Structure 1
Amino acid sequence: MMDIREAHRRALHDFGTRVHAVRDEQWDQPTPCTDWDVRALVNHMVSENFWVPELLAGKTVDEVGDTFDRDLLGDEPVEVFDTSEAEATRAVAAEGVLDRTAHLSFGDVPAAEYLSELFADALIHSWDLSRAIGGNDRLDPELVEQCARWFSGVEEGYRGAGVIGPRAKIPPGADAQTKLLAAWGRA
C-alpha cells in the first residue's frame, strides 16, 4: 500500500482536475449524492480541506466551530478549491503528521485514520463529480485498490452510522472500481 499521505494527495489532485473541468452552466447539475448539486459537492470538499490544517494542528471540532459551515466558494469556486487543496496538502505533508491525533466529532482517531477517511472521500467524490459533469469517471486503479482494502474494514461502521446508503448490486464480471463504488452505495 502506498503512504496514506500520498494517496490523499493524489485523490485530492484528481478531484481538483475534475473541478477545473466544470463549465459555468454545470454548477447546479445534480450529482449521485442526491442532496448535493455540483456546487454543494465542491463546497463540501472545500470545507473538508479547510478543516484539515485545523484538525491536524490538534484543534477540536468545538474549537473550530461553524467557521466552514457555509458557502465557501463565492464567485471563484475553482480558485477557492485550489486554495483549499493547497492548504490541506501542505498540512498532510507536515513533519510528524502521522504521529498526531485528530479530534473528530465522533471521537479521537489517529491521524492516519483521519487521512484514510479524507482520501476515500476525495476518491469517491471524484467519481460523483465526473458523473455529474459528464466527464471521465475512471478512477486511478491504485487508489481504488488502496481504498477498497481500507474500506473493507470500516464499511459496516459507515453504513451503521448512516454515512453511506445500502450496498448497490454488483453486476457479473464487475471490475474493482465498480465493486468499490457499490460498497459505497453507488450504482
Structure 2
Amino acid sequence: MNETQTVPDTRPLFHTALAQIAPLIHALLATDLDRPTPCSEWTVRELLSHLIAVENRIVHIAGGGLPFEVPSTLEGIADTEWSDAWRSRIAPVQDALADDALLAREWAHPAGAMPGFQAIAIYASELAVHAWDLARALGRDAELNQSVAAAVVGPITGALPAEPRGAELGIPFGPVVPVAVDAPPYARLVGWVGRDPQWAPRAD
C-alpha cells in the first residue's frame, strides 16, 4: 500500500476497546479467577493470561516482529498481580501505536500480512469480544460500551464467514448463535463469533 494514500485511523476504536477492560481487571477478587467464562476452554485466570499476552504481541508486531515469536498466553503471574500486569502494559501499547506511519505499514498479523490499520481493527474486535467474555463471567456485562461492539460487528460479520468454521480449518470460532436483528450490538457481535449472548455460569 502506498503510504501517501489516506487510510482509516482505527486507533481510537482500539483504545476505547482496550480501556473498557481495565475497570473489570482492577476490580477482580481472588475468588473470581477460577470462574468459568463464555470462552469454554478458559477460566477468568486463563482469559487474563491471554489478554495480557495480546498486549505484548501488539507491541511486538507493531515494531516489526512476527506474532508467533510472542506466546498467546503468559505463565507465572501471581493471583495478586493481574491488575499491575495489565496496567504496566498500557503505556507500551500506546507508545507502539503512536506513529501515524504504522497505519499503512504492513504488519505480520496472525491472520496474515495486512496494513496496520486493518490489524489494529482486528485487535479492537478481539478485545471487544474478550471484554464481553470477562464481563459476562463477572456478571458485569451491562457496563460494557455498546458503541465499541457497534463499530466492530459490521466489519467482523463481513470478514468472518458463517461457515465453514473450526480450529482444524484455521478458523477457531464456533457456529453462529442466531440473535434478533434488532438485538443490542454486543449480542450481535458475540453471537456472530460463536458465543451464546445468554451464557451464564452453571449454578453449583
Tell me whether the two structures share a fold, i.e. TM-score over 0.5: yes
Paired residue for 2:3?
Answer: none
Q: Is this contact kept in 1: 2:59–2:92, CA < 8 A?
A: yes
* Residues 1:77 and 2:86 aligned together: no
Native 8 Å contact 1:101 1:110 kept in 2: yes
- The structure with more helix, counted as a fraction of residues: 1
Task: Report the count of equivalent residues.
Answer: 184
Following TM superposition, the consecutive aligned residue runs of length 4 or more in structure 1 with deviations greater than 4 angstroms are: none
Alignment of 1:47-126 (within 5 A): 47-61=53-67, 64=69, 66=71, 69-71=73-75, 73-74=77-78, 75-126=80-131
Instruction: Give the match's secondary structure for 2:161.
Output: helix
1:56 and 1:100 in contact (8 A); partners too = no
Mark the CA change 1:144 to 1:70 in structure 2 (over 3 Å): closer, same or farther.
closer
Give the % identical residues. 22
Matches within 5 A, 1:176-187: 176-187=185-196
Provide the TM-score with structure 1 as the length reference: 0.87
Q: CA deviation at 1:83?
A: 1.4
For the Cα contact (< 8 Å) 1:30–1:38, is it kept in 2? yes
Decide which moves more: 103-112 or 49-58: 103-112
Q: Distance in 1 between matches of 2:19 and 2:164?
A: 27
Bigger Rg, which one = 2
| CA distance in structure 2 between the aligned counterparts of 1:72 and 1:93, rounded to whole angstroms | 30
Name stretches of at least 5 consecutive residues in structure 1 with no aligned partner: none
CA-based RMSD of the aligned residues comes to: 2.3
What is the distance in 2 between the residues matched to 1:51 and 1:90? 14
Matched residue, 2:202: none
Alignment TM-score, normalising by the size of structure 2: 0.80
List runs of 5+ in structure 2 lacking aligned partners: 1-7, 197-204
- Are the counterparts in 2 of residues 46 and 72 from structure 1 also a CA contact under 8 Å? no
Tell me if structure 1 keeps the 8 A contact 2:9–2:117.
Answer: no
* 8 Å CA contact retained: 2:50, 2:74: no
Letter paired with 1:177: Y
Aligned to 2:50: 44
